[in-house]
Chains A and B, each alone.
Chain A
Amino acid sequence: GAVVSQHPSRVICKSGTSVKIECRSLDFQATTMFWYRQFPKQSLMLMATSNEGSKATYEQGVEKDKFLINHASLTLSTLTVTSAHPEDSSFYICSARDLGTAYNEQFFGPGTRLTVL
C-alpha cells in the first residue's frame, strides 16, 4: 500500500517552455501533497504544500507564478514549471500524506528529473 506515482520520470525541454509533472496517490486518498526539489548532492527542499480544493502554500523564496500547483482531486496534484530555464533543472519529487496511518506518514513518488537546455 501507500504507493505514489509520478509522471514523467524524466523530461528534457528547451528554455522557455512549460513542463507539467503529475503526482498520484494510487491506493489512498491524499488531501495534502508536498512538492520538493533536490539539487545534486544537496538535501530536499520543500517548495510547496498542495491542498486538495484550495490554493497551495508556497515556501519562502519559491515563486508561485513560476511553479503552478493544482490539486483538483484527492489523488492527483500537478506541478507546472512555467517558462523553464536551465537553473530550473533539478530533481522534483512529490510526496503524499496518508491520513489513514497512525503517524500521517509521507510517501514519496519516484521523482522527475528535469533538464532544461
Chain B
Amino acid sequence: QKEVEQNSGPLSVPEGAIASLNCTYSDRGSQSFFWYRQYSGKSPELIMSIYSNGDKEDGRFTAQLNKASQYVSLLIRDSQPSDSATYLCAVTGAGNNRKLIWGLGTSLAVNP
C-alpha cells in the first residue's frame, strides 16, 4: 500500500466550476499536510498547509482534513485555465527529520 495516494487523473473541469482533489495517507502519526501545485517543467509551489481537522480557506482554495479517515482534500472554487497543473499532496512522515511523503499527483485540466 502506497503511503500517500492520489488519483492520477486527469481531472477535467469547466472554467468556473469547483475542482475537488483528494488524497489519502496511511501513517496515522502524520501531523502536517500540504498541497503543492506543479506546472509542467517547473518546481512545486506550496498552495496550502493544514494541521487540524476541518477546513482551512485561502482565497479560492479550501483544504479539508479528516484525520480519523486519513483523508485530505483540496477544493478549488471558480476554477481558471491557469489552475491547470499537477497537484501534489504531501504529508509529514513520522520521526525527527519530518521529511515529506509525496503522492504521485493529480493532473487537473480546466477547460475554457
Contact = CB atoms under 8 A, between A and B. Distances in A.
B97 A43 contact: no
Contact of A105 (B34, B103, B105): B34
A57 interface: yes
B1 interface: no
A67 interface: no
Query: Which range holds the interface residue count of chain A?
Result: 20 to 34
A54 to B, nearest CB: 12
Contacts of A43: 88, 102-105
Interface in B61-106: 88, 90, 92, 97-100, 102-105
A109 B42 CA distance: 10
Contacts of B50: 103
A44 B51 contact: no
Contacts of B99: 34, 46, 49
B22 interface: no
B42 A103 contact: no
B32 A103 contact: yes
A68 to B, nearest CB: 19
Contacts of A101: 49
Interface of B: 32, 34, 36, 41-46, 49-51, 88, 90, 92, 97-100, 102-105
Interface of A: 32, 34, 43-44, 46, 49, 57, 91, 93, 97, 101-111
5 contacts: A43-B102, A46-B100, A103-B51, A106-B90, A107-B46
